[in-house]
Amino acid sequence: MTVLSREAPRLPVPPKPRRTRAQVIGWIVAAVVVAAHVVAWRATDMSLGALVEGWQGMADFLAEAIPPDLSSEVLGDGIAAAAVTLWIGLLGTTLSIPASLVLALLAARGTAPGRGTYQAARSLLSFLRAVPDVVFALIFVTAVGLGPFPGVLALVCHNVGVMGKLWAEALEDADPGPAQALRSAGAGRIQVAAHALLPTVTPQLVGLLMYRFDVNVRSSLVLGLVGAGGIGFLINQSIQLFQFDEMLTHILIVLVLVVAVDRLSALVRHHLGSST
Confidence of residue 222 (pLDDT cuts 50, 70, 90): confident
Is the per-residue pLDDT at 169 higher than 90? no
What is the tally of structural domains in the chain? 1
Q: Which of the given ranges, 52-61, 168-177, 226-235, has the highest pLDDT on average?
A: 226-235
- Between CA 98 and CA 101 the distance in angstroms is 5
The sign of the torsion formed by the CA atoms of 263, 92, 131, 268 equals: positive
Q: Which pLDDT belongs to residue 178?
A: 62
Q: What is the CATH number of the domain that holds 199?
A: 1.10.3720.10
Q: Please check whether residue 60 lies inside any domain of the structure.
A: no
Residue range of the domain that includes 129: 75-275
Which of these ranges, 64-68, 95-99, 219-223, 249-253, has the smallest mean pLDDT?
64-68
Average pLDDT in the 144-157 region? 88
Which of these ranges, 37-51, 60-74, 77-91, has the smallest mean pLDDT?
60-74
Give the DSSP per-residue string, 226-275: TT--SHHHHHHHHHHTT-HHHHHHHHHHHHHHHHHHHHHHHHHHHHHHHH
Confidence of residue 56 (pLDDT cuts 50, 70, 90): confident
Q: Which pLDDT belongs to residue 51?
A: 75
Q: Which pLDDT belongs to residue 39?
A: 92
Is the per-residue pLDDT at 211 higher than 50? yes
Q: Please check whether residue 199 lies inside any domain of the structure.
A: yes
* pTM for the whole structure: 0.76
Q: Please check whether residue 136 lies inside any domain of the structure.
A: yes
Q: Please check whether residue 70 lies inside any domain of the structure.
A: no
Confidence of residue 179 (pLDDT cuts 50, 70, 90): low
Q: Which pLDDT belongs to residue 1?
A: 47
Confidence of residue 33 (pLDDT cuts 50, 70, 90): very high
Q: What percent of the chain has pLDDT over 70?
A: 83
Nearest-CA neighbor of 158 among 177, 140, 182? 140
Q: What percent of the chain has pLDDT over 90?
A: 18
Which of these ranges, 9-13, 138-142, 203-207, 262-266, has the smallest mean pLDDT?
9-13
Q: Which pLDDT belongs to residue 37?
A: 92
Is the per-residue pLDDT at 13 higher than 60? no
Any idea what DSSP says for residue 185? T
Is the per-residue pLDDT at 234 higher than 50? yes
Q: Please check whether residue 12 lies inside any domain of the structure.
A: no
Q: Please check whether residue 139 lies inside any domain of the structure.
A: yes
Sheet strands (E) in 144-238: none
Q: Which pLDDT belongs to residue 98?
A: 92
Q: Please check whether residue 37 lies inside any domain of the structure.
A: no
C-beta separation of 250 from 100 below 8 A:
no
- How far is residue 91 from each of residues 148, 149, 221, measured CA to CA in Å? 10, 10, 14
- Between CA 258 and CA 252 the distance in angstroms is 10
Average pLDDT in the 123-143 region? 89
How many Cα atoms within 13 Å fall on the side-chain side of residue 224?
A: 29
Which of these ranges, 60-64, 159-163, 176-180, has the smallest mean pLDDT?
176-180
